[in-house]
């Protein structure tokens, strides 16, 4: 078991722009062993003292990746910026290495589709996803918004008047609005799991889950 944990508790990050660098630093904070790779020596120098290993390499060169032991990693993140060819070729090589979990940064829907075809298991569209998230926050009363696959979302919003002074069981929010209150937070307290017996008070913050359209409608309630 120890050998398996050691093998999986590490990741290779290829491309150290703002996105890749942020991922690398967060993984380090989570005590994950990080091999950071970029073709720019100056960028690699910037991260050399902050990650487990940092290397200058052409990620489209199969031999170079082999020499760095990339093929032995269980997790990889391809965060190459505007060089679409390098992004696609690198992802394809990692797919050939049969790395179990490959994450890749996409610049567009089309780019994301290609990355998935050549081996990426997960594709992130940072600018697109953040744009959608901000749009939801700007136009609604919700305080935070995260959308998942299959049009499923989680929203942080203030408790509507119809629920105040009642337990969640009494308010019947699930049957009325097709959402589930997952967690609740009162002023000066942390979030706690919500149950049917949880009493809702004015000013409480709710974490609500359900279909995106239903969570959005719920967040609009006064």
pLDDT-derived band at 116 (thresholds 50, 70, 90) equals very high
Domain that residue 157 falls in: 129-219
Mean of pLDDT over the chain? 89
Write the CB contacts of 16 (distance below 8 Å, at least 6 apart in sequence). Answer: 24, 36, 37, 38, 40, 43, 44, 46, 47, 79
Residues 119 and 165 in one domain: no
Residues 120 and 182 in one domain: no
Q: What is the CATH number of the domain that holds 83?
A: 3.40.50.720
Residues 153 and 52 in one domain: no
Question: What's the rounded Cα separation, in Å, for the pair 128 and 152?
Answer: 17
Residues 53 and 108 in one domain: yes
Cβ–Cβ under 8 Å, residues 67 and 56: no
Residues 44 and 134 in one domain: no
- SS3 of 214, please? helix
Rounded to the nearest angstrom, the gap between the alpha carbon of residue 77 and the centroid of all alpha carbons in its chain is 12
Residues 74 and 172 in one domain: no
* Domain end marker among 74, 94, 124: 124
What is the pTM (predicted TM-score) of this model?
0.67
* Domain end marker among 124, 159, 183: 124
Residues 120 and 163 in one domain: no
For residue 170, list its beta bridge partners. Answer: none
Q: pLDDT digits over 30-89, tens only?
A: 999 999 999 999 999 999 999 999 999 999 999 999 999 999 999 999 999 789 999 999
Residues 107 and 145 in one domain: no
Residues 155 and 197 in one domain: yes
Q: pLDDT digits over 19-28, tens only?
A: 999 999 999 9
Question: What's the rounded Cα separation, in Å, for the pair 13 and 33?
Answer: 11
Q: Please tell me the total count of domains within the chain.
A: 2
Residues 93 and 143 in one domain: no
Write the CB contacts of 103 (distance below 8 Å, at least 6 apart in sequence). Answer: 75, 76, 77, 78, 120, 121, 122, 123, 124
Q: pLDDT digits over 121-162, tens only?
A: 999 887 777 666 666 666 566 788 787 767 888 999 999 999
Residues 94 and 141 in one domain: no
Q: What is the CATH number of the domain that holds 209?
A: 3.30.70.1450
pLDDT score recorded for residue 4? 44
pLDDT score recorded for residue 6? 59
* Domain end marker among 124, 147, 170: 124
Residues 156 and 178 in one domain: yes
């Amino acid at each position: 078991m120890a050998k398996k944990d050691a093998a999986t508790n590490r990741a290779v990050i290829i491309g150290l722009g703002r996105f890749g660098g942020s991922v690398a630093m967060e993984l380090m904070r989570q005590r994950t062993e990080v091999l950071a790779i970029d073709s720019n020596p100056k960028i690699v120098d910037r991260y050399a003292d902050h990650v487990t290993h940092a290397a200058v390499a052409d990620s489209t060169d199969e031999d170079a990746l082999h020499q760095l032991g990339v093929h032995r990693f269980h997790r990889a993140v391809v965060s190459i910026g505007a060089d679409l060819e390098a992004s696609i070729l690198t992802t394809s090589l990692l797919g050939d290495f049969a790395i179990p979990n490959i994450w890749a940064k996409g610049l567009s829907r089309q780019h994301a589709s290609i990355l998935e075809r050549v081996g990426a298991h997960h594709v992130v569209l940072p600018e697109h996803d953040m744009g959608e998230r901000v749009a939801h926050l700007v136009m609604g009363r919700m305080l935070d918004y995260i959308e998942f696959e299959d049009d499923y979302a989680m929203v942080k919003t203030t408790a509507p008047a119809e629920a105040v002074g009642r337990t969640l069981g009494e308010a019947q929010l699930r049957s009325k609005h097709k959402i589930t209150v997952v967690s609740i937070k009162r002023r000066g307290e942390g979030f706690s799991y919500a149950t049917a017996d949880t009493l809702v008070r004015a000013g409480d913050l709710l974490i609500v889950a359900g279909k995106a359209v239903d969570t959005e409608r719920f967040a609009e309630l006064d």
